[in-house]
Structure formats: C-alpha cells, structure tokens
Amino acid sequence: MHLFVTGGAGFIGSAFIRLALAEDPTCRITNFDALTYAGNLDNLKGVDPQRHRFLRGDITDRHAVTAALEVPADVIVNFAAESHVDRSIQCSDTFLRTNILGTQVLLDAARLKGIQRFIQISTDEVLGSLPEDADVLSTEDAAYAPNNPYAASKAAAEHLVRAAQRTFGLDAVITRCGNNFGPCQFPEKLIPLILSNAILDQPIPVYGDGRQVRDWIYVDDHCRAILRALAAGTAGEIYHIGARNERQNLDVVAAILKALGKPESLIRFVTDRPGHDRRYALDPTKIERDLGWRACETWESGLLKTIRWYNDNGNWLARARSGSYREYYDRQYGGTTETSS
Ligand code: NAD
Ligand code: TYD
C-alpha cells in the first residue's frame, strides 16, 4: 500500500504517518507538504526513511502535484490545510487557496492518475454551532452552517470532494473530527497555547466567558479512525470521528493548570473571537457501528501524554514559538481588551 499524504509535516498528518507505518509493515508513504509555519520535519523524527519519502510542495501547484504522483500511489489522504480559525479571521486568502483550490487540484490529480481512494480530512466546524442547552449531537446528515472563513473553506472543500465523486465517480470518503490534542500541535491552538504559556508562567487568554464547548479527541484516536475509513469506509460516505468528550474551555484550562501545579490567576479573559461557535459535538455512532472504531484514550490519559510531551520537548516548543509566531501572537492578542468574565 502506497499512501500519498498531504500536510504530513503538520500536527495530525505526522501522527497519522507514524501510526500508519507502525500498523502496517508493507505501507509506504509519500509525504507532500509545503512546510508552512505549521509544518515541521522534526515532527517526523525517527520515521523510517526507507518507507517515508518527503517532498516539499504546494497542493495548489498542479505541476508539482502531478510530478509527485509520477510514482503511483494507491490512496491520497488530504490533511494539507490552513487550519487555524483566528488566522482565517485575520486574513482568509491562504485558506481559500490551500483549502479549496488545493483540494480541487488533488481531486483532479487523483482522477487523472487513477488513485483508488481519496480521503478528505475535514472538521466538525463545517456544521457550525450546536445549542448549548439541548442534548443533541451532530450527525453526518446535518446541514452545513460554517461560521468563520476557515470553516467555510473546509465546507467548500467537502462540496468539491462530493462533486468529484458524483460527477467523475471518484472513490472518496470524508472524515470529520472535533478538536484534536496531543504531541506536536502548533502552540496557536488552545491546548498547546495553555501548556506553553503556563510552563513559562505567562498569561493564558480565554475568549469571552470561556464557556464554549469543544469535543476533544486524542490525535492517535483520530488517526486510527482515518485508517479504518481508508480500509473499510464506503465510497461517498461521511464519517464523524468523536470521543464523546465535551468540555468547556475554562474546564480545559483549569485541568491543565492543575496538572502543571500552576495558579488559575494566570487566566486572562479577553475579547471574544468574532463569530465564535458556542458548541461542537459530533455523534460517532456511524463509525462505531459500521467500522468498529472506538476511541482508546480517555481525556485524562491523553492529557497526561500531551503534558509529558510538551514538558519533555522544550526545544521543539522554543522553535515553534520563535520567529513569525511572535508577530502572529502580538497581532492576535496585542490589541485585545481584558474583560471581567
Ligand atoms: P496543521 O496546521 O498542524 O498542519 C497543516 C500542514 O499542512 C502543515 O504541515 C503545512 O505545512 C501543510 N500545508 C499547508 N498548506 C499547504 C499547501 N498549500 N500545500 C501543502 N502543504 C500545506 O494542521 P492539523 O491540525 O494537523 O490539521 C490537519 C487537517 O486536519 C486539516 O485539514 C484540518 O482542517 C483537519 N482537522 C484538524 C483538526 C484539529 O483539531 N487540529 C480537527 C479536525 C480536522
Ligand atoms: P482552537 O484551539 O483555536 O480550536 P477551534 O477554534 O478550532 O475550536 O480553540 C479551541 C477553543 O478555545 C475555542 O472555543 C476558542 C478558544 N480559545 C481561547 O479561548 N483562547 C485562545 O487563545 C485560543 C487560541 C482559543
């Protein structure tokens, strides 16, 4: 099995590559990644170079994608994306290019090269916000309702995948997941941001009242579910991947501060994110029932692994927080007003 993985130097893509190679000794991977600010080859340290070929390239570059697929691949797994909501609010250009145009380039290449299966890695955000007070979960047939440019670009990508399947008969599967956490996540996202700021005794910005709910999953559980969808998913289907682990942001912050022995006085309530979705929660019944997948990690065991990794990888963190991260951080948090929530 030869997998063509895009975005494999990022957080989830690199975890997927480690897992796919470990689970199947016959698996070989081409990892096609532009190495944006979020891509980091250190995430792939220790991966067998005999079975992992790294190619630096941009998924919006049709020629580069076609050339990379000269070595025949069986499956494309598309992780490559601009992935951070706050950056998409600052400027959406790269989101539209990579997440929409890039997906179409890959779909065209998949068709022309006779790829057997296309897996699109998507997100609960395409469905927008759920009510907080009702015990409802999002199922695969819920209506699209993206509320920020990142979510809208990922919804557009899903439409293109569906169109390629319906129009050209491409074998495509879409997986949607909630908020991942684990090693190697860039510290712009909530959990590594809390961890890296708390380790350095720096303030932790909490948007609005901090009562927004996210559905957290340990990254390896997400990757195991993708492998199941790849091997046994039905073409044209969408699968929701969730660990039934809803948490309010403030509870996530408190749990991490407690585990690190840091005071809650580090918390700063700041101006809310515009268009901030209150609650995401996916119903994983279909993937549990049809593909026999279940999350293995609990919130506690996953968090412990994650905290250990960030504690043990100070150099990785220092590198991620250097350079353009400082500019981003100042742009994102410099002008925010502290509130009293
Ligand atoms: P990430 O930002 O950590 O990594 C993205 C990777 O894509 C990086 O290695 C980057 O260099 C690469 N990339 C960006 N633009 C590219 C381009 N034009 N061409 C080639 N490579 C490019 O993202 P992540 O958190 O690992 O997310 C991976 C995928 O999973 C994304 O599609 C995202 O929408 C989806 N997803 C993420 C989460 C989450 O909680 N992080 C949840 C659900 C779905
Ligand atoms: P994030 O990790 O950006 O993921 P997403 O927006 O895809 O859910 O944010 C998770 C939650 O944490 C979300 O409700 C926004 C909130 N948040 C903060 O309160 N402060 C922050 O500094 C960040 C980055 C996020």
CATH code of 40's domain: 3.40.50.720
Residue 80 CB less than 6 A away from ligand 1: yes
For the chain, the domain total comes to 1
- Give the number of the atom of ligand 1 that is nearest the alpha carbon of residue 13: 26
Closest listed residue to residue 128, CA positions, set 150, 153, 151, 149:
151
pLDDT value, residue 336: 65
Question: Residues lining ligand 2, CB < 6 A?
Answer: 85, 179, 189-190, 193, 205-207, 212, 214, 249, 273
pTM of the model: 0.98
Identify whether 155 is part of a domain. Answer: yes
Q: E-strand spans in 209-298?
A: 213-218, 238-241, 246-248, 267-270
The neighbouring-strand residues paired with 177 are 123, 241
Nearest protein CA to atom 6 of ligand 2, as residue: 85
Residue 153 CB less than 6 A away from ligand 1: no
Distance from the alpha carbon of residue 43 to the mean position of ligand 1, in angstroms = 13
Identify whether 109 is part of a domain. Answer: yes
Identify whether 43 is part of a domain. Answer: yes
Q: By 3-state DSSP, what share of the chain in percent is helix, strand and coil, each rounded to 5?
A: 45, 20, 40
Residue 85 CB less than 6 A away from ligand 1: no
pLDDT value, residue 2: 98
pLDDT value, residue 77: 99
Identify whether 89 is part of a domain. Answer: yes
Look up residue 46 and give its two tokens.
């220790």
Q: Which of 5, 6, 12, 43 to mutate to test the pocket of ligand 1 (most atoms within 8 A of CB)?
A: 12
pLDDT value, residue 134: 78
Q: Taken in order 217, 223, 228, 229, is the CA torsion positive or negative?
A: positive
Closest listed residue to residue 41, CA positions, set 77, 5, 81, 7:
7
Report the alpha-carbon distance of residue 33 to residue 229 in Å, rounded: 22
Number of Cβ within a 10 Å radius of residue 169: 11
pLDDT value, residue 323: 84
Identify whether 201 is part of a domain. Answer: no
- Give the number of the atom of ligand 2 that is nearest the alpha carbon of residue 125: 7
Ligand (nearest to CA of 216): 1
- Give the number of the atom of ligand 2 that is nearest the alpha carbon of residue 276: 14
Residues with Cβ < 8 Å from 235, sequence gap 6 or more?
117, 165, 171, 172, 173
Please check whether residue 78 is in contact with residue 119, taking contact to mean a CB–CB distance below 8 angstroms.
Answer: yes
The residue with tokens 């951070």 is 84
Residue 250, classified by CB atoms within 10 Å of its CB into exposed (0-12), middle (13-18) or buried (19+), is middle
Ligand (nearest to CA of 328): 2
Instruction: Tell me which residue range forms the domain holding 119.
Output: 2-180+217-241
pLDDT value, residue 32: 98
- Per residue of the chain (341 residues), give pLDDT as tens: 999 999 999 999 999 999 999 999 999 999 999 999 999 999 999 999 999 999 999 999 999 999 999 999 999 999 999 999 999 999 999 999 999 999 999 999 999 999 999 999 999 999 999 999 878 999 999 999 999 999 999 999 999 999 999 999 999 999 999 999 999 999 999 999 999 999 999 999 999 999 999 999 999 999 999 999 999 999 999 999 999 999 999 999 999 999 999 999 999 999 999 999 999 999 999 999 999 999 999 999 999 999 999 999 999 999 999 989 989 999 999 876 677 66
Pairing of strands 246-248, 213-218: antiparallel
Nearest protein CA to atom 22 of ligand 2, as residue: 205
Ligand (nearest to CA of 240): 1
pLDDT value, residue 95: 98
Report the alpha-carbon distance of residue 42 to residue 101 in Å, rounded: 28
Report the alpha-carbon distance of residue 290 to residue 232 in Å, rounded: 9
Residue 60 CB less than 6 A away from ligand 1: yes
Residues annotated as part of the active site: 124-125, 150
Nearest protein CA to atom 20 of ligand 2, as residue: 206
Identify whether 35 is part of a domain. Answer: yes
Identify whether 335 is part of a domain. Answer: no
- Give the number of the atom of ligand 2 that is nearest the alpha carbon of residue 333: 22
Identify whether 10 is part of a domain. Answer: yes
